[in-house]
Homo-oligomer: A and B are copies of this chain.
Amino acid sequence: MQRPEFELIDWIRGQVRDRGTVSLGIGDDAACLKPNPDRELLVATDMLMEGVHFEFSSATPQQAGRKALAVNLSDIAAMGGRATAAFVSVALPSDRGMQFARDVHTGLIELANDHDVILAGGDTNSWNGPLVINVAVLGEPWMPRPVSRKGAQPGDWLFVTGALGGSLVSGRHLNFPPRLAEAQRLVNLVEVHAMLDVSDGLAADLHHILKASRVGAILFEPDIPLTQSAKTVNDGRSPLMHGLSDGEDFELLFAVAPEAGRQLLSSWNMVTSLTRIGEISTELDCRLRRADGKMELLPPIGWTHRLGEAL
């Protein structure tokens, strides 16, 4: 009699596409990979819990698995890197059965295959609790050095990919495309001084860059790109407030020198939009410049419902 875990593991192994970088993968005590000797190694890890990061009233098992990988791919993108291998640990609710377990992994493996990421190992458990998924992703920077959060300089232009706000309402937090291709293009076109992915909300995440870089910033209110759902959610909060604080956007927020910014604006031809939304200042605070030119202080408001926070 085979234990259900082994059956699941055999099934996962059959789904995984190998690409030659893994000399020893699923089925031993540890995976063994060939590192790129010319690059440093990037490691991102995120734990997602049912009831906190997704609910099965609105998400499918596939979407839960997909999101667990996607948030890590977004982190690797934010470092200016590509993802190479993923390691997936799950605590599966024992009453939901094997098809549920396969569905969770299917959503994850499909996204992995889309981005040439190999599922190289993990840990499969079941319990009488909600679904918990932890994914650790290895990657490497496209350029010799990764893009950290520190490095923004006074005068730099601030950009964001895509549009912000309403991700939880629209369900976009479950199916957002990690901006790996956009990050690759960016770091190949210009020198990016600082970058992160917007997970806590634009205002909170901008403060992370400012704190790490020891600078301030001015955001141009009329230029902040808002999603359709940010504009139409009728909950008493303004579209701008949604764009500044909803979080889970998983768009790239970054700072580049003005000349690099001009170059980006003139040469950017990807479908994903790129918008200049502000600039880095010498004063150590963050301000919002309204359409009428008035300035106001912008605190690090963010999605406080979300308790998850990367180290």
Give A residues with C-beta under 8 Å from B.
Answer: 3, 5-6, 9, 12, 23-24, 26-37, 40-47, 49, 51-52, 75-76, 78-79, 81, 85, 87-91, 94, 120-130, 132, 134, 136-139, 141, 146, 148-149, 196-197, 212, 304, 307-311
Report how many copies the assembly holds: 2
Q: Which of B23, B132, B304 contacts A3 (CB 8 A)?
A: B304
B79 touches A28 (CB 8 A): yes
Choose one: B31, B123, B308; the contact of A46 (CB below 8 Å). Answer: B123
CB-defined contacts of A31 to chain B, threshold 8 Å: 42-44
Bound state CA distance, A35 and B141, in angstroms?
A: 13
Q: Quick one: closest B residue to A204, CB to CB?
A: B3
Distance from A84 Cβ to chain B, minimum over Cβ atoms (Å): 10
Contact B46 A89 (CB under 8 A): yes
Q: A32 and B27: CB pair below 8 A? A: no
Which residue from B28, B123, B132, B139 sits with its C-beta under 8 Å from A148? B28
**Pair A43/B37 contact, Cβ less than 8 Å:** no
- Given A28-B148, A134-B47, does the pair A308, B41 have CB atoms closer than 8 Å? no
Given the known interface contacts A49-B91, A136-B87, A136-B136, the answer about A44 and B30 at a Cβ–Cβ threshold of 8 Å is: yes
- Asked if B35 and A41 sit within 8 Å, CB to CB, the answer is yes
Chain A at the B interface: SS class: strand
What 9 A-B pairs have minimum CB-CB distances, sorted nearest first? A37-B37, A134-B134, A47-B89, A5-B309, A30-B44, A35-B35, A136-B136, A29-B75, A29-B78
Q: Contacts of A34 on B, CB cut-off 8 Å?
A: 40-41
Distance A12 CA – B37 CA, assembled complex (angstroms): 30
Contacts of A146 in B (CB 8 A): 24, 30, 32
A33, B52: Cα distance in complex, Å = 30
A70 to B29, CA, bound (A): 13
A91 touches B47 (CB 8 A): yes
A24 vs B9: C-alpha distance when bound (angstroms): 33
Residue among A79, A89, A196 with most chain B CB within 10 A: A89
Contact A309 B9 (CB under 8 A): yes
- CB of B120 within 8 A of CB of A9, answer no
Interface centre among A123, A138, A149, A308 (most CB of B within 10 A): A123
Inter-chain CA distance A38–B45, complex, in Å, is 25
Report if A42-B26 is in contact (Cβ < 8 Å); known contacts: A47-B132, A51-B128, A51-B129: no
Q: Are the CB atoms of B45 and A127 closer together than 8 Å?
A: no
Cβ contacts under 8 Å, A51 to chain B = 127-129
Supply 11 further A-B pairs (C-beta < 8 A) apart from A5-B307, A24-B146, A88-B311. Answer: A12-B311, A28-B148, A28-B212, A30-B42, A35-B35, A41-B138, A49-B125, A52-B125, A121-B311, A134-B134, A134-B136
Min CB–CB distance A105 → chain B (angstroms): 10
Chain B hits for A32, CB < 8 A: 40-43, 79, 141, 146, 148
